[in-house]
Amino acid sequence: MSSLVSRIVVTVSLLPVVLVLVYLGGWWLFGLAAVGALLALHEFWVMTRELRPLALAGYLGALATLLGAELGGVEWALAGFMTTFALAFLLKGLADTKQTTTVSVGATVLGAGWIGFGLAHVLLLRDLEEGRLAALVVLLAVFAADTVAYFVGRLIGRHKLAPVTSPGKTWEGFIAGTALAVAVPFFALYEERDSFLEIWEALVLGGAIAVAAPIGDLFESALKRDMHVKDTGRLLGGHGGMLDRIDALLFASIAAYYTIVALGHG
């Protein structure tokens, strides 16, 4: 099966499930986020194994972050994440690995924070006053922008966006993705302009997603380049691993949440 065909098959199979669970919210969405976090963290540990991350501390820290977000909001999510430091330091002493504490604990905290906080903000988005609509719009905007950027880059991309960090990304793809990231919130929220986000606010939300999503993608690309890997896994066929699929969302969810809150719709 070609990479393109496998991408389509995975998308058609899994996207409806994801959207349904986001629509349902609550513990259904928490379960989805928890599974996604564990899979993505496993890929991160494998990718960074030479740094000797403390996997158990990272798993527990990320899950505590998600649980905090579900039960009590941002403050509890932060409290859950902070347990990662203590757990990692404790396990580092018990494991007595050859890697330095700074590197080992640092890699653990990076994984738990990057993945845990990114997915926790999907839960936080869902818990907003118009959270069901907000979360669905953000997910669709990120997915649509990423998909269009990929295909436009392959078809007509000529100018490299970040040739050192991610040679496959192009300015043509970035521009197309940006346009769609802004268009999705505009059209999806147009009918809600009197009850949720006004037109200009929807455009601001789209702009925040358009900026944050590719930065998230490039951040993962930079890490993969440091670790000398092409993809974080093959779990999702042509999409690569779970982390390859959600990298843009991990930054975009945070940007979208605080943009909506800053606009007075928390």
Give the amino acid at 152. V
Q: Is the pLDDT of residue 164 over 90?
A: no
What's the structural domain count of the chain?
Answer: 1
- Mean local confidence (pLDDT), 173-181: 95
Rounded-to-integer distance, Cα 253 and Cα 225, Å: 24
CB of 161 closer than 8 Å to CB of 169: yes
Domain that holds residue 14: 3-262
The pLDDT tens digits of the residues spanning 213-250 come to 999 999 999 999 999 888 787 787 767 889 999 999 99
Neighbouring-strand partners of residue 166: 162
Provide the whole-model pTM.
0.93
Q: Which two tokens stand for residue 87?
A: 């757990």
CB of 176 closer than 8 Å to CB of 148: yes
Give the amino acid at 15. L
Lowest mean pLDDT: which of 85-89, 132-136, 190-194?
190-194
Q: For position 97, what pLDDT does the model report?
A: 74
Categorize the per-residue pLDDT at 2 as very low, low, confident or very high, splitting at 50, 70 and 90: low
Q: Is the dihedral of CA 35, 37, 43, 46 positive or negative?
A: negative
Q: What are phi and psi of 168, to 5 degrees?
A: -80, -15
Rounded-to-integer distance, Cα 214 and Cα 180, Å: 13
| Arithmetic mean of pLDDT over the chain | 92
**Continuous segment of H or E residues that includes residue 155:** helix 131-156
CB of 197 closer than 8 Å to CB of 133: no
DSSP state, residue 49: G
Q: Which two tokens stand for residue 118?
A: 């990114």
- Mean local confidence (pLDDT), 141-149: 93
Q: Is the pLDDT of residue 8 over 80?
A: no
